[in-house]
Amino acid sequence: MEEEKKLYPFRLCPVEDVFAWGKEEWMLADLGWRDTAVRDGWLAGNALGEIMETYLDRVVGDDVFDWYGRQFPFQVKMLRVNGAMPLTVCPSDEDARARYDSLGKEKLWYVQKAEPGASLLLGFRKKVEVSAFFSACTEGNPASFMNAVPVKAGQYFHIPPGIPHALRGKLSVIEISESSALDFRLCGWGETLPEDESMGISLGLADALDFISYDRFPAENLMGFSLEDRRPEDPANVVRMVHLPQFSSNVIDLEEALKITAGEGGSCVAYVCARGAMALQSSGEGNDGGRNHVKVKEGEVVLVPSECEEFYLVPLEKGTLLLEVLVEKREEPDLTFSR
């Protein structure tokens, strides 16, 4: 019997959508209508969804598979904004499951680049009446209700479900979120919003009114933390950006080679190169049948299946910065979602 090939770290081919305000690049996605394909090795050309159907827990790990089944749990996008991105809101897991048999959408935004004047709209300055907000959105001017904060490269923001948000100016933002297409567009700032055809359902203002949080958004969540905001218990070159049941993410200043060892039943892990370049080295059969050596440049993503239990991250340029994404163990298995 032929020995089963071991999975290996692989880069993914982005899928691009262009809009009047800029573009979205899906860097890692498993949504069916948006599904990124493997770029290298013997799996090249296979979409992430196809790989999940075939290799199951070997991709994501036992614990993640027990919870999510064949649905890959998170996604990564690059938002390249040059103008005013539509005001958007996302539902919670509970609302998304009840209405759409889908995951909700916790989000993390990491500002990769930002020119002077770039800003983030996030949550309300004070409690807002539903009717007043609805009227403002239909008239194209809800910004007066919103918190507006200037942003700069290196900052990151957690965007919970129910909180309206948007980007303005010229900037690039890496978005890490749950695997979900449920971005509800509330306002296009006077521009007509295109019909959403991703799921065959309406994702507009009227559909989102009952799950928006109309309370004042806490000012401490608008601070825009960065790598310099290290806690005493953090390693000198690592900061945990978010630790959520849905996913965890760290930012790593890759000053020297870093050894990563996965735990039993542990999650797959993705690395987004936010700056510089690195090589990911692991043992096993990959592109050349021997030791894997995957080079990852700025703006690229590499996915490390859970089967790769030990590997090294090696900087190729000074100042290399990585965003690490994984799913940590949840207490009880969930009912898997239909595909």
Q: Report the residue count for the chain.
A: 339
Which pLDDT value is given to residue 284? 57
Structure tokens, 229: 């905001």
Q: Residue 287 — pLDDT band, cuts 50, 70, 90?
A: very low
CA distance 114 to 133: 29
In angstroms, how far is CA 304 from the centroid of its own chain? 16
| pLDDT above 60: residue 264 | no
User: What residues does 328 pair with on adjacent strands?
Assistant: none
Q: Residue 192 — pLDDT band, cuts 50, 70, 90?
A: confident
Choice between 48 and 223, residue whose per-residue pLDDT is larger: 48
Which pLDDT value is given to residue 329? 83
Share of the chain above pLDDT 70, in %: 88
CB 108 within 8 A of CB 270: no
Give the least confident one: 72-86, 124-138, 249-263, 299-313.
249-263
Q: Residue 289 — pLDDT band, cuts 50, 70, 90?
A: very low
pLDDT digits (tens, 9 = 90+) for 131-166: 999 999 999 999 999 999 999 999 999 999 999 999
Q: Residue 4 — pLDDT band, cuts 50, 70, 90?
A: confident
Could you state, in order of their start, the residue ranges of all structural domains in the chain? Answer: 14-58+72-222
Pinpoint the alpha helices (H) of 222-290.
Answer: none
User: Could you tell me where the beta strands, DSSP code E, fall in 115-237?
Assistant: 119-124, 146-150, 156-159, 165-178, 184-187
Q: Taking the domain 14-58+72-222, which CATH number applies?
A: 2.60.120.10
Q: Residue 197 — pLDDT band, cuts 50, 70, 90?
A: low
Mean of pLDDT over the chain: 90
Which pLDDT value is given to residue 3? 53
Q: What is the rounded radius of gyration, in angstroms, for the C-alpha atoms of the chain?
A: 20
Query: Which among 95, 76, 75, 72 has a CA at the least distance from the CA of 184?
Result: 95
Over residues 276-285, mean pLDDT: 84
pLDDT digits (tens, 9 = 90+) for 62-82: 999 999 999 999 999 999 999
Integer CA distances (angstroms), 237 to 115, 166, 227, 228, 263, in order: 26, 30, 8, 9, 21
Which pLDDT value is given to residue 282? 84
Sign of CA dihedral 267, 268, 269, 270: negative
Angle at 265 between CA 231 and CA 34, to 5 degrees: 85
For residue 59, the surrounding DSSP H or E stretch is helix 57-60
Its pTM stands at: 0.92
Give the least confident one: 185-189, 198-202, 301-305, 320-324.
198-202
Residues whose CB falls within 8 Å of the CB of residue 17, separated by 6 or more in sequence, listed in order: 23, 24, 26
Share of the chain above pLDDT 90, in %: 77
Which pLDDT value is given to residue 288? 45
* Straight-line distance from the first to the last Cα atom of the chain, in angstroms, rounded to the nearest whole number: 32
CA distance 184 to 89: 5
